[in-house]
């Protein structure tokens, strides 16, 4: 059974998240249904990142085992045709054949996210649902400086959802950069893996620094507290994009 890697883009808005759930429509289910229509097999897709409801992706990665040696481009085009027909907001950017030891979830060495904030008085008209609207002016440089305290290996309990199923709250954060470009602020976060809601929890807390409600030291104290109650705010899913995964 050949194994295929799929690189996937989606608008998370209409979905209950990546993961298949009874009674709800997920990105995973949308692609599995399209695959089944294409090849007649009931298949299970495994994704690199289980993004939450409303979170988007420009570079989600998943793998799948099929019965036949399909040409990868045929898989991509056929699945996209079925996704389009079903009105899904999901597209397969690329399909490729990988070896059996490739596992989209467990082979991932780094996951890269970007979180976008529209920092302006006017609400977003064109990017509605794809950005967090923060009308109050944020100090992006202060956010960036404070963010550096979260780099490295830490117990991220403060920035972890109560529903997080990971065995350990320890994670190694490799990148957390905050950059302003006009009215847009982007937060770039990279790690081998993240805890549930970790990026949104960090961004929500950084926003407190940006608006002056928290000092840089307050952010460090929140991390050190190792207490979910110390988290500043969980940023909404709208602004979050899974950008790429390294293997």
Residues 6+ apart with CB under 8 A from 91: 8, 9, 10, 80, 83
* 52 annotated active-site: yes
3-state secondary structure (DSSP) of residue 129: coil
247 is in an annotated binding site: no
Q: Where are the alpha helices (DSSP H) in the chain?
A: 27-39, 72-85, 140-147, 198-210, 216-225
Nearest Cα to Cα of residue 135 among 199, 183, 203: 183
> Which of these segments, 126-134, 157-165, 202-210, 224-232, binds a copy of itself (CB under 8 A)?
126-134
Q: Which of 71, 128, 136, 148 binds a copy of itself (CB under 8 A)?
A: 128
Cα 206 to Cα 82: distance, rounded to the nearest angstrom: 41
- Of 125 and 162, nearer to a copy of itself (C-beta) is 125
Q: Which of 17, 49, 124, 232 binds a copy of itself (CB under 8 A)?
A: 124
| C-beta of residue 178 within 8 angstroms of C-beta of residue 143 | yes
- Of 8 and 203, nearer to a copy of itself (C-beta) is 8
Q: How far is the CB of 41 from a copy of itself (least distance, A)?
A: 22
* Backbone torsions φ then ψ of 17, nearest 5 degrees: 115, 180
Q: Which of 2, 3, 9, 98 binds a copy of itself (CB under 8 A)?
A: 9
3-state secondary structure (DSSP) of residue 194: coil
211 near a copy of itself (CB under 8 A): no
Q: Which of 35, 90, 173, 203 binds a copy of itself (CB under 8 A)?
A: 90
153 near a copy of itself (CB under 8 A): no
Site for a copy of itself in 101-120 (CB under 8 A): 120
Q: How far is the CB of 10 from a copy of itself (least distance, A)?
A: 5
91 near a copy of itself (CB under 8 A): yes
Site for a copy of itself in 50-89 (CB under 8 A): 56, 58, 73, 76-77, 80, 83-84, 88-89
| C-beta of residue 205 within 8 angstroms of C-beta of residue 222 | yes
Question: Would you call 135 exposed, middle or buried from its count of C-beta atoms within 10 A (0-12, 13-18, 19+)?
Answer: exposed
Q: How far is the CB of 224 from a copy of itself (least distance, A)?
A: 37
**What end-to-end distance do the CA atoms of the chain give, in Å?**
21
- Of 41 and 77, nearer to a copy of itself (C-beta) is 77
Catalytic annotation, pick one of 7, 52, 144, 238: 52
Q: How far is the CB of 241 from a copy of itself (least distance, A)?
A: 8
Distances (CA, A) of 44 to 20, 30, 36, 58, 71: 10, 11, 10, 21, 19
3-state secondary structure (DSSP) of residue 109: coil
Active site residues per annotation? 52
Which positions lie near a copy of itself, rule CB under 8 A? 9-11, 56, 58, 73, 76-77, 80, 83-84, 88-94, 120-126, 128, 130
Indicate the annotated binding residues for substrate.
113
């Amino acid at each position: 059974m050949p194994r295929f890697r799929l690189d996937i883009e989606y608008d998370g808005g209409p979905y209950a998240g990546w993961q298949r759930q009874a009674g709800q429509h997920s990105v995973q289910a949308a692609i599995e249904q399209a695959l089944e229509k294409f090849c007649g097999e009931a298949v299970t897709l495994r994704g690199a990142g289980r993004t939450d409801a409303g979170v988007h992706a420009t570079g989600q990665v998943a793998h799948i085992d099929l019965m036949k040696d399909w040409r990868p481009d045929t898989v991509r085009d056929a699945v996209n045709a079925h996704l389009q027909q079903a009105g899904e907001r999901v597209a397969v950017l690329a399909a490729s054949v990988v070896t059996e030891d490739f596992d989209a979830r467990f082979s991932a060495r780094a996951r890269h996210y970007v979180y976008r904030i529209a920092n302006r008085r006017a609400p977003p008209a064109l990017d509605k649902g794809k950005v967090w609207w923060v009308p109050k002016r944020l100090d992006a440089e202060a956010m960036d400086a404070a963010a550096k305290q979260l780099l490295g290996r830490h117990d991220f309990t403060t920035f972890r959802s109560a529903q997080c199923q990971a065995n350990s709250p320890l994670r190694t954060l490799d990148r957390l950069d905050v950059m302003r470009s006009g009215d847009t602020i982007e937060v770039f976060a990279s790690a081998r893996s993240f805890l549930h809601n970790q990026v949104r929890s960090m961004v929500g807390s950084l926003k407190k620094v940006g608006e002056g409600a928290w000092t840089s030291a307050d952010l460090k104290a929140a991390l050190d507290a190792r207490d979910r109650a110390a988290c500043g705010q969980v940023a909404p899913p709208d602004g979050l994009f899974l950008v790429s995964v390294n293997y």
